[in-house]
Amino acid sequence: MSARCLVATLSLLVLVLATLSPTTMAGDNESLTASYRAKGQAGLDRLQQSEMQQACSGPVGMEVAADVATKIQKAAMDGVVLPADGKLLGQWEKGQKIAQTGTGMQSSDDPATPNGGNCYACHQLAPEEISFGTLGPSLAGYGKIRGQSEAMLKYTWTRIWNSHAYSACSHMPRFGDAKILTEEQIRDVMAFLFDPASPVNK
Protein backbone atom coordinates (compact mmCIF):
# COMPACT_ATOMS: atom_id res chain seq x y z
CA MET A 1 0.00 0.00 0.00
CA SER A 2 1.40 3.40 -0.93
CA ALA A 3 1.86 6.04 1.73
CA ARG A 4 -0.82 8.20 0.10
CA CYS A 5 -3.26 5.31 0.07
CA LEU A 6 -2.56 4.65 3.76
CA VAL A 7 -3.22 8.28 4.64
CA ALA A 8 -6.46 8.19 2.67
CA THR A 9 -7.52 4.96 4.41
CA LEU A 10 -6.69 6.39 7.83
CA SER A 11 -8.60 9.61 7.12
CA LEU A 12 -11.59 7.56 6.04
CA LEU A 13 -11.32 5.49 9.21
CA VAL A 14 -11.25 8.62 11.35
CA LEU A 15 -14.27 9.94 9.48
CA VAL A 16 -16.18 6.67 9.97
CA LEU A 17 -15.30 6.59 13.67
CA ALA A 18 -16.40 10.20 14.10
CA THR A 19 -19.73 9.40 12.45
CA LEU A 20 -20.14 6.32 14.61
CA SER A 21 -19.38 8.02 17.90
CA PRO A 22 -22.98 9.03 18.78
CA THR A 23 -24.00 5.36 18.44
CA THR A 24 -21.08 4.31 20.62
CA MET A 25 -22.11 6.88 23.21
CA ALA A 26 -25.64 5.52 23.32
CA GLY A 27 -24.26 1.99 23.81
CA ASP A 28 -22.02 3.12 26.65
CA ASN A 29 -24.89 4.91 28.27
CA GLU A 30 -26.92 1.73 28.58
CA SER A 31 -24.33 0.62 31.15
CA LEU A 32 -24.63 4.09 32.65
CA THR A 33 -28.40 3.86 33.16
CA ALA A 34 -27.88 0.38 34.64
CA SER A 35 -25.65 1.99 37.29
CA TYR A 36 -28.29 4.38 38.61
CA ARG A 37 -31.84 4.12 39.87
CA ALA A 38 -34.53 6.77 39.99
CA LYS A 39 -34.93 8.32 43.43
CA GLY A 40 -37.24 11.08 44.59
CA GLN A 41 -37.40 13.79 41.94
CA ALA A 42 -34.22 12.52 40.21
CA GLY A 43 -35.33 10.23 37.37
CA LEU A 44 -33.10 8.27 34.99
CA ASP A 45 -33.91 10.82 32.27
CA ARG A 46 -31.38 13.08 34.00
CA LEU A 47 -28.57 10.88 32.65
CA GLN A 48 -29.43 11.80 29.05
CA GLN A 49 -27.22 14.60 27.83
CA SER A 50 -28.35 17.69 25.97
CA GLU A 51 -26.25 18.78 22.99
CA MET A 52 -24.51 21.34 25.19
CA GLN A 53 -23.79 18.80 27.92
CA GLN A 54 -22.38 16.35 25.42
CA ALA A 55 -20.22 18.97 23.70
CA CYS A 56 -18.90 20.18 27.08
CA SER A 57 -17.98 16.72 28.42
CA GLY A 58 -14.55 16.45 26.81
CA PRO A 59 -11.43 15.74 28.84
CA VAL A 60 -10.17 18.58 31.03
CA GLY A 61 -8.40 21.23 28.97
CA MET A 62 -10.11 20.29 25.70
CA GLU A 63 -11.81 23.27 24.07
CA VAL A 64 -14.99 22.90 22.04
CA ALA A 65 -14.73 23.83 18.35
CA ALA A 66 -15.48 27.50 17.65
CA ASP A 67 -18.56 26.74 15.52
CA VAL A 68 -20.00 24.46 18.21
CA ALA A 69 -19.37 27.11 20.87
CA THR A 70 -21.12 29.75 18.76
CA LYS A 71 -24.10 27.45 18.25
CA ILE A 72 -24.40 26.71 21.99
CA GLN A 73 -24.14 30.38 22.91
CA LYS A 74 -26.73 31.43 20.35
CA ALA A 75 -29.21 28.78 21.47
CA ALA A 76 -28.70 29.86 25.08
CA MET A 77 -29.14 33.55 24.24
CA ASP A 78 -32.29 32.86 22.18
CA GLY A 79 -33.85 31.04 25.14
CA VAL A 80 -33.44 33.86 27.66
CA VAL A 81 -36.76 35.15 28.97
CA LEU A 82 -36.84 38.66 30.38
CA PRO A 83 -39.76 39.55 32.71
CA ALA A 84 -42.77 40.73 30.72
CA ASP A 85 -43.20 43.76 32.99
CA GLY A 86 -39.55 44.77 32.55
CA LYS A 87 -39.00 44.63 36.31
CA LEU A 88 -35.57 43.08 36.88
CA LEU A 89 -35.02 43.88 40.55
CA GLY A 90 -36.83 42.39 43.55
CA GLN A 91 -35.99 42.31 47.25
CA TRP A 92 -32.34 41.86 48.23
CA GLU A 93 -33.22 40.34 51.62
CA LYS A 94 -34.95 37.44 49.87
CA GLY A 95 -32.12 37.22 47.36
CA GLN A 96 -29.59 36.88 50.16
CA LYS A 97 -31.49 33.91 51.54
CA ILE A 98 -31.56 32.28 48.10
CA ALA A 99 -27.80 32.86 47.74
CA GLN A 100 -27.23 31.10 51.08
CA THR A 101 -29.48 28.10 50.35
CA GLY A 102 -27.72 25.08 48.89
CA THR A 103 -30.59 22.64 48.50
CA GLY A 104 -32.77 22.06 45.46
CA MET A 105 -33.39 19.31 42.90
CA GLN A 106 -31.33 16.68 44.72
CA SER A 107 -32.90 13.22 45.04
CA SER A 108 -33.03 13.94 48.78
CA ASP A 109 -34.80 17.31 48.46
CA ASP A 110 -38.53 17.85 48.83
CA PRO A 111 -39.74 19.17 45.44
CA ALA A 112 -42.36 21.26 47.26
CA THR A 113 -39.62 23.33 48.94
CA PRO A 114 -38.32 26.21 46.78
CA ASN A 115 -34.85 25.57 45.34
CA GLY A 116 -31.88 27.57 46.53
CA GLY A 117 -29.36 29.35 44.32
CA ASN A 118 -26.32 28.24 46.35
CA CYS A 119 -24.44 31.29 44.99
CA TYR A 120 -21.99 31.21 47.94
CA ALA A 121 -20.81 27.71 47.00
CA CYS A 122 -18.80 29.28 44.16
CA HIS A 123 -18.82 33.09 44.56
CA GLN A 124 -17.84 35.68 47.10
CA LEU A 125 -20.80 38.06 47.50
CA ALA A 126 -21.27 40.12 50.68
CA PRO A 127 -17.76 40.87 52.01
CA GLU A 128 -19.04 40.22 55.56
CA GLU A 129 -19.73 36.54 54.69
CA ILE A 130 -16.48 34.60 55.08
CA SER A 131 -17.85 31.22 53.95
CA PHE A 132 -17.68 31.51 50.17
CA GLY A 133 -16.34 29.33 47.37
CA THR A 134 -13.81 30.27 44.72
CA LEU A 135 -14.84 28.26 41.64
CA GLY A 136 -16.52 31.37 40.22
CA PRO A 137 -15.31 35.00 40.23
CA SER A 138 -15.82 37.23 43.27
CA LEU A 139 -19.01 39.27 43.01
CA ALA A 140 -18.30 41.47 46.05
CA GLY A 141 -19.43 45.05 45.42
CA TYR A 142 -21.16 43.88 42.21
CA GLY A 143 -23.65 46.72 41.82
CA LYS A 144 -21.45 49.40 43.36
CA ILE A 145 -18.73 48.70 40.80
CA ARG A 146 -20.95 48.28 37.75
CA GLY A 147 -23.91 50.61 38.31
CA GLN A 148 -27.49 49.88 37.27
CA SER A 149 -27.61 50.66 33.55
CA GLU A 150 -30.23 48.76 31.56
CA ALA A 151 -27.48 46.96 29.65
CA MET A 152 -25.78 45.84 32.87
CA LEU A 153 -29.08 44.63 34.37
CA LYS A 154 -29.94 42.65 31.23
CA TYR A 155 -26.44 41.19 30.98
CA THR A 156 -26.62 39.99 34.59
CA TRP A 157 -30.14 38.60 34.17
CA THR A 158 -28.91 36.66 31.13
CA ARG A 159 -25.87 35.34 33.05
CA ILE A 160 -28.15 34.00 35.77
CA TRP A 161 -30.79 32.71 33.34
CA ASN A 162 -28.30 30.84 31.16
CA SER A 163 -24.60 31.53 31.55
CA HIS A 164 -23.88 29.55 28.37
CA ALA A 165 -25.09 32.59 26.39
CA TYR A 166 -21.66 34.10 27.07
CA SER A 167 -19.40 31.10 27.67
CA ALA A 168 -20.33 27.91 25.84
CA CYS A 169 -19.11 25.48 28.49
CA SER A 170 -19.73 27.58 31.59
CA HIS A 171 -19.95 25.54 34.80
CA MET A 172 -22.66 27.75 36.26
CA PRO A 173 -26.10 26.13 36.40
CA ARG A 174 -28.76 27.54 34.05
CA PHE A 175 -30.87 28.98 36.85
CA GLY A 176 -33.69 30.31 34.66
CA ASP A 177 -33.41 28.02 31.65
CA ALA A 178 -33.36 24.81 33.74
CA LYS A 179 -36.15 26.16 35.99
CA ILE A 180 -33.97 25.97 39.10
CA LEU A 181 -35.10 29.43 40.23
CA THR A 182 -38.39 31.16 39.43
CA GLU A 183 -38.54 34.55 37.75
CA GLU A 184 -39.38 36.11 41.11
CA GLN A 185 -36.40 34.42 42.78
CA ILE A 186 -34.05 35.66 40.04
CA ARG A 187 -35.39 39.21 40.60
CA ASP A 188 -34.51 38.86 44.28
CA VAL A 189 -31.00 37.57 43.51
CA MET A 190 -30.59 40.50 41.10
CA ALA A 191 -31.54 42.92 43.91
CA PHE A 192 -29.03 41.21 46.21
CA LEU A 193 -26.36 41.96 43.57
CA PHE A 194 -27.42 45.51 42.62
CA ASP A 195 -29.28 47.20 45.50
CA PRO A 196 -27.08 49.85 47.14
CA ALA A 197 -28.51 48.71 50.51
CA SER A 198 -27.53 45.07 49.90
CA PRO A 199 -24.60 43.73 51.95
CA VAL A 200 -22.96 42.80 48.61
CA ASN A 201 -22.37 46.53 48.05
CA LYS A 202 -21.28 47.42 51.58
Partner 1 sequence: MFSQYREMLGEGNPAELVEMQGEELWSAARGPKNKPLSACDLGLGAGVVAGAYASLPRYFKDAGRVMDLETRLAWCMNDIQGLSESAVTARPFSVQGQTATDLEALTAWIAGQSRGKVISVPQKHAKEQAAFAEGKRLFNYRAGPYDFSCAGCHSQSSKRIRLTVLPNLTTQEGAANAYRSWPAYRVSQGALRTMQWRMVDCARQQRLPELIFGSPAAVSLLTYLGATANGGIMDAPGIKR
Residue numbers at the binding site for partner 1 (CB under 8 A): 28, 31-32, 34-39, 42-44, 46-49, 52-54, 56-60, 105-108, 120-122, 130-135, 171, 173-174, 178-180
Give the shortest CB-85-to-partner 1 separation in angstroms. 27
Nearer CB in complex with partner 1: 11/57: 57
Of 189, 131, 197, 129, which Cα lies nearest the Cα of 159? 189
Give the shortest CB-158-to-partner 1 separation in angstroms. 16
Q: Round to whole Å and give the CA distance between 68 and 81.
A: 23
Long-range contacts of residues 171-174, Cβ cutoff 8 Å, at least 24 apart: 171/135, 171/136, 172/122, 172/136, 174/76
Of 58, 59, 36, which Cα lies nearest the Cα of 47? 36
Q: Round to whole Å and give the CA distance between 15 and 64.
A: 18
Nearer CB in complex with partner 1: 89/165: 165
Nearer CB in complex with partner 1: 9/107: 107
Give the shortest CB-71-to-partner 1 separation in angstroms. 16
Question: Coil, strand or helix: which one is 95?
Answer: helix
Nearer CB in complex with partner 1: 120/194: 120
Give the shortest CB-46-to-partner 1 separation in angstroms. 4
Nearer CB in complex with partner 1: 111/196: 111
Give the shortest CB-31-to-partner 1 separation in angstroms. 5
> What amino acid occupies position 35?
S
